[in-house]
Amino acid sequence: MDFLKDFWAFVTNQKKWWLVPIILALIVFGLLITFAENSAVATFIYPLF
Amino acid sequence: MKILGISAYYHDSAAALIEDGKIIAAAQEERFTRLKNDSQFPENAIKYCINEACIKLSDLDAIVFYDKPFLKFERLLDTYFDNAPKGLISFITAMPIWLKEKLFLKTTLKKSLTEIDHNINWKKTELLFSKHHLSHAASAFFATNFDDAAILTIDGVGEWATTSIAVGNKNNIATLVEQHYPDSVGLLYSAFTYFLGFEVNSGEYKVMGLAPYAMPEDELVQLYMNKITSEIVTIFDDGSIKLNKNYFKYSTSLKMIDEKKFEKLFGLKTRKKTDNLSFQHCALAQALQQVLEEIMLNLLQKAKELTKSKTLCMAGGVALNCVANGKIKESGLFENVYIQPAAGDAGGALGAALAAYYLHFKKERIYTNEFDLMQNSKLGPSYNSLEIKRAIENSKLNFLAFNYQELIAKSAELLNQGKIIGWFQGRAEFGPRALGSRSILANPLLNNTQSDLNLKVKKRESFRPFAPIMLEYEFEKFYSQTYSSPYMLFVHKIRPEFRHEFKQETEFDLIKTINQKRSVLPAITHIDYTSRIQTVNETNDKKLFDLLNEFKKQTNYGILVNTSFNINNEPIVCSPQDAINCFLKTEIDCLVLDNYLITK
């Protein structure tokens, strides 16, 4: 939560809106990889890719 | 108000503690972990700082990190998108580290700090982030007693800025202009450091030491200068530069340069670490030095024009180029020139703390009656007599305990006899230089001192010069200078009456050239008659002052060789045990720990 709050403050303060979709995509992709490696969600992820 | 500054995770991590604007302690992590340029979270340095102040982490009002990770990440992404699809491999390598660790630096820092003190309350203790170049600027300006100054910071890269000109006024710093990545004077210098076979981020000063083996007016140096300025970097009158990105790879890969293009341009192979050094290498180093000085003088003219100040403060890794610093001093462009002794990233920890104190908390500026607020940069750990004696006894080495006067007389006598002494006294230095607390001292009058020190003690390249430590009141007599130079940051030429004529060899032979006696002080006079001088007076180091005076009584010269107490690729010694270990590993003749004299 701390990270999201600080990131939002940074984006609004510096007006770096272009970073929002990129960071979100990178984090979602990162999370997917982590889940795909380690959890039961893997079964649902593999058919998608 | 107590503030802790931290620099970490890139290179040379450090911590610094200030209390009501006064610097209490500062230390680099490498001194404790014994890993050169250690970049890990500086746990030991932090623990040392809070112990020195007799406080706990939870007593702090703020903890400040020396740069802004989000801005750095934005620069990284921006650069990758600009260069895509080039840099894909580097992108894939870098992203996991960023997404896993570096982007969540605040959480990581809080976790590591909480491990040191579980009682830390993050509502009471603020965790702040200062811009990288602002940290450098604050480390220089707020460490002085000057009310206003032009501030120049130059390094490889911070977040976006690679160079900045700012103005300091009382408790405020305002940035006026910045040069942004990828155009960087520091990275330009590092690129050539790599091409010349030295390690990036630590071998830059070797390039500086190599340069004088070629003269600026040599034909080859002129040719290389033309090549650099016409092909690699465009220099503008306002001090800004534009790098030709075709020659560089640091934006898109883990390499600094396009080796093939460099090799074609200079007609030289990229030097391997173990390859011999030729005149071409020296000429290229000299050409680079000339280009650097041109850029720096342009920047200073711009800084003068923008600020109209009589004083210049400098920090950032490039501010450790003492040859350029000497020229800046001699140019007379600024009446006062102050360079932060810990000008590299370690000093960023101190700057971040000072920036928070004055710029965030808006506190009144404090001043001292001394040279500056750095306490001669002796901000590191000290050890009491009992701890020292215990370390000596455990080592089973022969030792003698002297009183103060006896120790001074005996040490001067040993130095006069040509002995090399490890000198360990009081608090350790903060920053890259040994300034008389953790130093190796030797006789500068002897011909063999330089090679003995390089090969038997320091175990490093023979071309590298040694620096003198001298009585301040003799600075004018030998170097025509009258200011205080306590941090060994300026290079000047020895006066002509002390020089020896130089026999130019028809064929370049580095070893023969090194062995030529250049002055009455051969061990500390570089090939071009220059020295990187540290001056000592009665107030900045009484013991060294007395030692130099005693040496003068015996030899007529109040000058000694002063080099850092370490061997190549090891950090400077910190504890008495480190000093004993280094003493045993090398051919240092005697070790003076506090008032104990140890022999082998």
Give chain B positions within 8 Å (CB) of A19: 74, 77
Nearest residue of chain B to residue A22 (CA atoms)? B77
The answer on B504 and B473 residing in a single domain is yes
B84 pLDDT tier (thresholds 50, 70, 90): confident
Sequence-ordered list of residues with C-beta below 8 angstroms from that of B598, at least 6 positions apart, any chain: B392, B395, B397, B398, B399, B580, B583, B590, B591, B592
Give chain B positions within 8 Å (CB) of A26: 95, 99
B103 touches chain A (CB under 8 A): yes
Cβ of B74 within 8 Å of Cβ of A19? The answer is: yes
pLDDT digits (tens, 9 = 90+) for B49-69: 999 999 999 999 999 999 999
Rounded Cα distance, B135 and A36, in Å: 41
**Residue B436's domain is classified under what CATH number?**
3.90.870.20
Considering only CB atoms, B106 lies closest to which of A6, A14, A30, namely: A6
The answer on B242 and B124 residing in a single domain is no
Query: What is residue B384's predicted lDDT score, i.e. its pLDDT?
Result: 96
- Is the per-residue pLDDT at A46 higher than 60? no
B85 touches chain A (CB under 8 A): no
Considering only CB atoms, B99 lies closest to which of A10, A16, A26, namely: A26
pLDDT digits (tens, 9 = 90+) for B444-478: 999 889 888 988 888 777 778 899 999 999 999 99
Average pLDDT over residues B483-506: 90
B94 touches chain A (CB under 8 A): no
Q: Are B86 and B63 in contact (CB under 8 A)?
A: no
The answer on B365 and B292 residing in a single domain is no
Cβ of A14 within 8 Å of Cβ of B71? The answer is: yes
User: Three-state SS for B483?
Assistant: coil
Query: What is residue B501's predicted lDDT score, i.e. its pLDDT?
Result: 82
- Is the per-residue pLDDT at B357 higher than 80? yes
Where does B308-396 have alpha helices with state H? 322-331, 345-355, 385-395
The answer on B216 and B75 residing in a single domain is no
- Is the per-residue pLDDT at B250 higher than 70? yes
Q: Are B210 and B285 in contact (CB under 8 A)?
A: yes
Split into its structural domains, chain B has a count of: 3
Q: Encoding tokens for residue B207?
A: 């390039």
The answer on B469 and B445 residing in a single domain is yes
Cβ of A26 within 8 Å of Cβ of B74? The answer is: no
- Is the per-residue pLDDT at B403 higher than 70? yes
Chain A nearest C-alpha distance from B511 (Å)? 55
SS3 string of B55-106? CCHHHCCEEEECCCHHHHHHHHHHHHHHHCCCCHHHHHHHHHHHHHCHHHHH
Q: Is residue B108 part of a domain?
A: yes
The answer on B544 and B399 residing in a single domain is yes
Average pLDDT over residues A23-47: 68
Complex confidence, ipTM: 0.72
Q: Is residue B180 part of a domain?
A: no
Cβ of B103 within 8 Å of Cβ of A3? The answer is: yes
The answer on B306 and B410 residing in a single domain is no
Rounded Cα distance, B480 and B297, in Å: 22
Chain A nearest C-alpha distance from B71 (Å)? 8
pLDDT digits (tens, 9 = 90+) for B371-387: 999 999 999 999 999 99
Q: Is residue B34 part of a domain?
A: yes
The residue range of the domain holding B592 is 385-599
Q: Is residue B497 part of a domain?
A: yes
CA A27-A29-A35 angle, 5° bins = 100
Cβ of B99 within 8 Å of Cβ of A30? The answer is: yes
Q: Which of A1, A2, A33 to mutate to test the interface with B (most CBs of B within 10 A)?
A: A2
Lowest mean pLDDT among B141-155, B199-213, B320-334: B199-213
Rounded Cα distance, B314 and B152, in Å: 5
Chain B nearest C-alpha distance from A35 (Å)? 14
Nearest of B97, B9, B186 to residue A26 by alpha carbon: B97
Q: Encoding tokens for residue B459?
A: 């175990």
Query: What is residue B304's predicted lDDT score, i.e. its pLDDT?
Result: 97
Q: Is residue B148 part of a domain?
A: no
Residue B211 φ/ψ region, left for φ over 0, alpha for ψ in the -120 to 50 degree band, beta for the rest: alpha
Average pLDDT over residues B273-287: 94
In terms of pLDDT, which residue wins out, B82 or B170? Answer: B170
Query: What is residue A23's predicted lDDT score, i.e. its pLDDT?
Result: 82
Give chain B positions within 8 Å (CB) of A5: none
Query: What is residue A39's predicted lDDT score, i.e. its pLDDT?
Result: 59
Sign of CA dihedral B406, B410, B411, B413: positive
B11 pLDDT tier (thresholds 50, 70, 90): confident
Query: What is residue B258's predicted lDDT score, i.e. its pLDDT?
Result: 95
Q: What is the DSSP string of B140-187?
A: HHTTSS-SEEEEEEE-S-SSSEEEEEEEEETTEEEEEEEEETT--HHH
Average pLDDT over residues A16-25: 85
Q: What are phi and psi of B309, to 5 degrees?
A: -85, 155
Query: What is residue B123's predicted lDDT score, i.e. its pLDDT?
Result: 93
pLDDT digits (tens, 9 = 90+) for B203-237: 999 999 999 999 999 999 999 999 999 999 999 99
Q: Are B312 and B334 in contact (CB under 8 A)?
A: yes
Q: Is residue B9 part of a domain?
A: yes
Chain A nearest C-alpha distance from B134 (Å)? 17
pLDDT digits (tens, 9 = 90+) for B542-553: 999 999 999 999
Taking chain B, what is the end-to-end CA distance rounded to the nearest angstrom? Answer: 48
Chain B nearest C-alpha distance from A46 (Å)? 21
B35 touches chain A (CB under 8 A): no
Rounded Cα distance, B125 and B529, in Å: 52
The answer on B361 and B428 residing in a single domain is no
**Residue B351's domain is classified under what CATH number?**
3.30.420.40
Helices (H) and strands (E) in chain A, counts: 3, 0
Cβ of B70 within 8 Å of Cβ of A6? The answer is: yes
Name the pairing type of β-strands B398-401 and B596-599.
antiparallel
B147 touches chain A (CB under 8 A): no
Query: What is residue A44's predicted lDDT score, i.e. its pLDDT?
Result: 58
A47 pLDDT tier (thresholds 50, 70, 90): low
Give chain A positions within 8 Å (CB) of B114: none
Query: What is residue A49's predicted lDDT score, i.e. its pLDDT?
Result: 52
Cβ of A2 within 8 Å of Cβ of B96? The answer is: no
Give chain B positions within 8 Å (CB) of A6: 70, 106
Q: Encoding tokens for residue B223?
A: 């040719």
Q: Which of A1, A3, A12, A22 to mutate to test the interface with B (most CBs of B within 10 A)?
A: A3
Rounded Cα distance, B38 and B40, in Å: 6
Nearest of B88, B143, B155 to residue B354 by alpha carbon: B143
pLDDT digits (tens, 9 = 90+) for B511-545: 777 778 889 999 999 999 999 999 999 999 999 99
- Is the per-residue pLDDT at B439 higher than 60? yes
Chain A nearest C-alpha distance from B91 (Å)? 12
Average pLDDT over residues B259-284: 95
Rounded Cα distance, B299 and B236, in Å: 9
- Is the per-residue pLDDT at A38 higher than 70? no
Burial class (CB in 10 A: 0-12, 13-18, 19+), B369: exposed
The answer on B287 and B221 residing in a single domain is yes
Give chain B positions within 8 Å (CB) of A27: 99
Give chain A positions within 8 Å (CB) of B103: 3
Q: Are B527 and B213 in contact (CB under 8 A)?
A: yes
% of chain B residues with pLDDT over 90: 87
Chain A nearest C-alpha distance from B175 (Å)? 17
